Chain A
Amino acid sequence: MTDGHLLEVENLHATAGGGEVVRGVDLTVRSGEVHVIMGPNGSGKSTLAHALMGRPGTTVTEGSVRLDGVELVGLPAWRRARAGLFLALQQPIEVPGVLLDATMAEALAPLGAGPPDRGALSDRLRQEAAAIGFDERFLSRALNVDLSGGERKRNEVLQLGVLRPPFCVLDEIDSGLDVDAVRAVARRIESATGEWGLGVVAVTHFHRLLRELRADHVHVLVAGKVVASGGPELAEELEHTGYAAYASPT
């Protein structure tokens, strides 16, 4: 187990489509920790995820995101990825003609060097596919093309396993997955927290993922702000009360 990495989000504000959607978020994640973010539709969870990853069009207007002390705000997405952050998208993108295995080879290629050893990479791809029941036939297919919604989500987790970043943001990784797949995917992620000390920020609407991931912390995001933080019991409570108790902060 390698640990000791630190992701610090401080007073993060971000705009998307002209409006401020993330309105001051603080979050500290250490290696091996699992943080779950819940919140109503449209509360800014995906925008927060993109602000962390550096999507063009999602503009950070204030605050900072540091990974092991390195400021990520201002860096392009690929630099953030290489600094150790991974984002599993709520809606993974189809890239026609660009193969999954070739992309992983590019992603792992050190700058200035050629792609990594093909054999080792292909073993790793197959191992990760087996761990989450992802059909091996998909490994040399174009990214997300002709994949079902659930297969796309598994594909994201597979890539996470291949790239082994210190931190990941999982945006509704469980939506679209069948019950068995949720278990398989959650187990893979949960074991990664031990294997290489993966720190997890998981956005979800479901209590189920939280249990499977053995979440340490739960944060409730409403209208772009964290309005409550606590342990797993907070999610339990939400199951009953919904978000009504958290009036939109102004």
Chain B
Amino acid sequence: MPLPSEKEEVWRYTPIDALDLDAYAPAVLGPAAPAAGPLAEAFVAGLASDLPVRAAMVTTLDGAVRSVDRGRLDDRVVVGAVSAASEGALGQVLTGGDALVRLNDAFHPDAVVVDVPAGVVVEDPIVVVHWCGAAPETGAVAPASFPRTVVRLGRGASAGVVEVVAGMPEGRGLVVPVVELRAGEGARLSYVGLQVLGPSAWHIARMAAASDRDATLRTFTVGLGGAYDRSRTDAVAAGPGATTELRSAYLGTGEQVHDVRTLQDHAAPHTTSDLLCKGAVAGSSRSVYSGLIRVRRGAVRTEAFQTNNNLVLDPNAHADSVPNLDIEENDVRCSHASTVGPVDEDQRYYLESRGVPPERAEQLIVLGFFDDIVQRSPVPASVGRLQREVGIRLTEALHVGDGSHG
């Protein structure tokens, strides 16, 4: 199978043609694997203290499960590395897939599985952390990492997962995560994905989600790190009455490229999907959002909404927004809206007319732009950490810290 190419529509506007797989090799794992290192330990400890109330925590090194802390988790819930025997759990939601998914199929060391049986309600979040970037065998190439995650909720179950991809603080690296989410009949699945890799890493993520009859599936993916950060989310409303809420946010600084692709796939009647994607680009960074709403024949009474808002903070930054509709039914309500532009002049004037200096006004508005979406994270316990991650990068992006304001 050939590597993806920018000529394909789903890879348009991306630097994918520059991907040279020979420059990477999977990390050395298994018994010979190196210790995770102090950076990884500090990161995990920090995350643990930011999410003090949690049901369980799984840590991996490049996708190989290192620890599973079941904390206060219900015995009936399976959390941890999936055994070879139940590898059948993979590929149930994500069918097809490109060469990169195949690479993940071949190279993921473990699959982290979260299996919540019918009727079980997990109140507190389950945290999954992938620290990436252990050195490959030959030092001449950069590390490649293939985390794999499956979250499955049985009928009427409820759970929230916070998954974090971090590491590769310096130097090049490639991370290709694949995540599958399935919300069974009437289940409530909430998922937050946070990517905070180092500035030279490439992150090419694929997520597939499916919700059965009357299920509610809510996802929020936040892309902050990496040189090239791509997340593609395909969410299918598979059963009647299913509700999908997709949220994503990205912030570009320096020369970063953020690339968000979404598919709201309505395959059953009376289904609802609501997508909100907010991004800001500063410096010479770039972003592309491309989203498709597909309503299949028979999916009557579908309601599907898609909104993409982009703030362009510097003259050399650029954002593309490409919404698409593919509707095969008549009795549906669908809409999409997108905006690309600088900070709103009226908003800035309003704050300035109260006496707020212009740089501070801009910072407040951009922080508020993100806060508006972060505050509504499907896993409320993640809000504080997300706010901090966004805040730190915004401070860099907006060149604040001139000393005039704390």
In the complex with contacts A89-B350, A143-B350, A95-B356 CB distance below 8 A: no
Q: By DSSP majority rule, is chain B's interface helix, strand, loop, or mixed?
A: helix
B350 touches A107 (CB 8 A): no
The docked-state distance in angstroms from the alpha carbon of A102 to that of B365 is 12
Give the total of A residues in contact with B, Cβ under 8 Å: 36
Partner of B352, one of A81, A104, A108, A163: A81
Looking across the interface, which residue of chain A has its beta carbon closest to that of B345? A56
Question: Could you tell me the distance in whole angstroms from the C-beta of A90 to the nearest C-beta in chain B?
Answer: 12
- Residues of A near B43 (CB, < 8 A) are none
**B: interface residue count bin:** 20 to 34
- Chain A residues, CB < 8 A from B355: 78, 81-82, 106-108, 163
Given A56-B345, A78-B358, A114-B406, A103:B352 Cβ within 8 A: no
For residue A165, which residue of chain B has the nearest CB?
Answer: B355
Contact of A95 among B347, B357, B375, B406 (CB under 8 A): B347
Residues of A within 8 A of B191 (CB): none
Q: Among B29-37, B137-145, B149-157, B366-374, which stretch is in contact with chain A?
A: B366-374
Q: Are B368 and A98 touching (Cβ within 8 A)?
A: yes
What is the CA–CA distance of A56 and B365 in the complex, to the nearest angstrom? 17
Distance (Å) between the CB of A17 and the closest chain B CB?
14
Task: Tell whether, in the assembled complex, residue B369 and residue A87 are in contact, meaning their CB atoms are under 8 Å apart.
Answer: no
For the complex, what is the distance from the CA of A97 to the CA of B357, rounded to whole Å?
A: 18
A87 to B354, CA, bound (A): 8
Docked Cα-Cα span, A82 to B351, in Å, equals 12
A97 to B356, CA, bound (A): 16
Contact (Cβ within 8 A) B347 A93: yes
Max chain B Cβ within 10 angstroms of own Cβ: one of A53, A96, A114 = A96
Interface residue SS majority, chain A:
mixed
Closest to B368 in A: A97
Asked if A111 and B357 make an inter-chain contact with CB atoms under 8 angstroms apart, the answer reads yes
Contact between A76 and B352, CB atoms less than 8 A apart: yes
B404 at the interface (CB under 8 A from A): yes
A92 at the interface (CB under 8 A from B): yes
Contact of B358 among A55, A76, A99, A143 (CB under 8 A): A76
Q: How far is the CB of B382 from chain A (nearest CB, A)?
A: 17
Contact B360 A106 (CB under 8 A): yes
In angstroms, Cα B350 to Cα A76, docked, is: 12
The listed residue (A55, A57, A87, A107) touching B356 by CB distance below 8 A is A107
- For residue B11, give the distance in angstroms from its CB to the closest CB of chain A: 32
User: Roughly how many angstroms separate A77 CA and B357 CA in the complex, as a whole number?
Assistant: 9
The reply to whether the CB of A109 lies closer than 8 angstroms to some CB of chain B is: yes
The answer to whether A109 and B405 have CB atoms under 8 Å apart is yes
Q: B347 contacts which chain A residues (CB < 8 A)?
A: 93-95, 98
* B364 in contact (CB, < 8 A): yes
**Selected contact of A96 from candidates B346, B349, B351, B369, CB within 8 Å:** B369
User: How far is B372's CA from A163's CA once the two chains are assembled, in angstroms?
Assistant: 26
Nearest CB to that of B405 among chain A residues? A109
B268 is an interface residue with CB less than 8 A from chain A: no
Chain A minimum-CB-distance residue to B373 = A97
Q: Contact string, A108-147, partner B, CB cutoff 8 A, digits 1/0?
A: 1101111100000000000000000000000000110000
Give Cα distance in the complex from A31 to B358, angstroms.
28
A115 to B406, CA, bound (A): 8
A87 CA to B360 CA in the complex, in Å?
19
Taking the complex as formed, is B353 at the interface, i.e. its CB lies under 8 A from any CB of chain A?
yes
Residue of B nearest to A144 (CB): B350
A59 interface residue (CB < 8 Å to B): no
Residues from chain A with a CB closer than 8 A to the CB of B372 are 96-97, 142
A78, B78: Cα distance in complex, Å: 57
Q: Give the complex CA separation of A149 and B145 in angstroms.
A: 53
Find out whether the CB atom of B404 lies under 8 angstroms from the CB atom of A142. no
B349 adjacent to A77 (CB under 8 Å): yes
B361 partner residues in chain A, CB cutoff 8 A: 78
**Could you jot down 13 A-B contacts, CB within 8 Å?**
A55-B353, A77-B352, A78-B355, A81-B355, A93-B346, A93-B349, A95-B351, A96-B368, A98-B364, A107-B355, A142-B372, A143-B350, A163-B354
The 3 A-B pairs of least Cβ separation, nearest first, read: A97-B368, A81-B355, A98-B368
- Residues of B whose CB lies within 8 Å of any CB of A are 345-347, 349-358, 360-361, 364-365, 367-372, 375, 403-406
